[in-house]
Amino acid sequence: MKKVIGFMNFKGGTGKTTLSCLTALYLADKKKSRVRVHDLDKGGDTAQFVTNLDHENMRSFDINEDQEAYDYIIVDTPGGITSDEIDRIAGVCDIIIVPFALSATDIRRTKQTIDALAAPDKVRLLFNKVKAQTTAFKDKGNVLAALGVKALKNHVGDRVGYGYGLASGGDALPYTCQKELELVIKEIIK
């Protein structure tokens, strides 16, 4: 039975595409799962990643295929998506990951994203681009209380290695990034 994982946030630049690509790659490569990636961003970066990588277990989503033949469908949404679009997409997702950084703009747009969703019980916040030693991260409990939804226990650090890993098709993803990402993905798919 397939699981649909959506990466959503009204704000652009929160890491939705990077996380979509690396999650799909991890599931296809490390878990040997059959993964389809649905890129809704007009830029098409996620679809291009899938095409360039040409992994036997990972393909772009095709509405004409039997969707029960997949283990996972990863949905990458663009920043600037409308409330109606985000709610419609969320309706088919089993879990919605809302990545964000601890900045005033990210928090505000993340709150707007959560408020637009009719099913906040599906939402899990993902602290992304984390600088773990900062006061902002140490005091994240106040942010979580204000946003009013659950967060993943694990987070993604602010590491240039994620960009290198994405550019190399995962080959250059540093060990620290691999382990950090693995913890996040295991939490998402449990």
In this prediction, residues 5-13 reach a mean pLDDT of: 97
| Overall number of domains in the chain | 1
Q: What is the pLDDT of residue 189?
A: 97
**Tens-digit pLDDT profile for residues 82-128:** 988 988 999 999 999 999 999 999 999 999 999 999 888 999 999 99
Phi, psi of 12 (to 5 degrees): -80, 160
For residue 74, the number of C-alpha atoms closer than 13 Å in the C-beta half-sphere is 31
Burial class (CB in 10 A: 0-12, 13-18, 19+), 31: middle
Query: pLDDT-based confidence at 141, cuts 50/70/90?
Result: very high
pTM here? 0.95
Q: Is the pLDDT of residue 137 over 90?
A: yes
Buried b (16+ CB within 10 A) or exposed e, 83-111: eeebeebbeebebbbbbbbbeeebbebbb
Q: What is the pLDDT of residue 85?
A: 92
- Could you give the 3-state DSSP secondary structure of residue 72? strand
| Helix H or strand E encompassing 127 | strand 123-127
CATH number of the domain that 64 lies in?
3.40.50.300
Q: What is the pLDDT of residue 154?
A: 98
Q: What is the pLDDT of residue 169?
A: 83
- Residue 171 CB neighbours (<10 A): 9
**Tens-digit pLDDT profile for residues 18-36:** 999 999 999 999 999 999 9
- Could you tell me what percent of the chain has a pLDDT over 70? 99
Tokens of 32: 């040997």
Q: Is the pLDDT of residue 170 over 90?
A: no
Q: Is the pLDDT of residue 1 over 80?
A: no
Q: Is the separation of the CB atoms in 152 and 126 below 8 Å?
A: yes
Q: Is the pLDDT of residue 67 over 80?
A: no
What is the domain extent for residue 69?
A: 3-189
- Could you give the 3-state DSSP secondary structure of residue 172? coil
Which CA distances in Å does 178 have to 55, 134, 161, 166?
18, 22, 9, 12
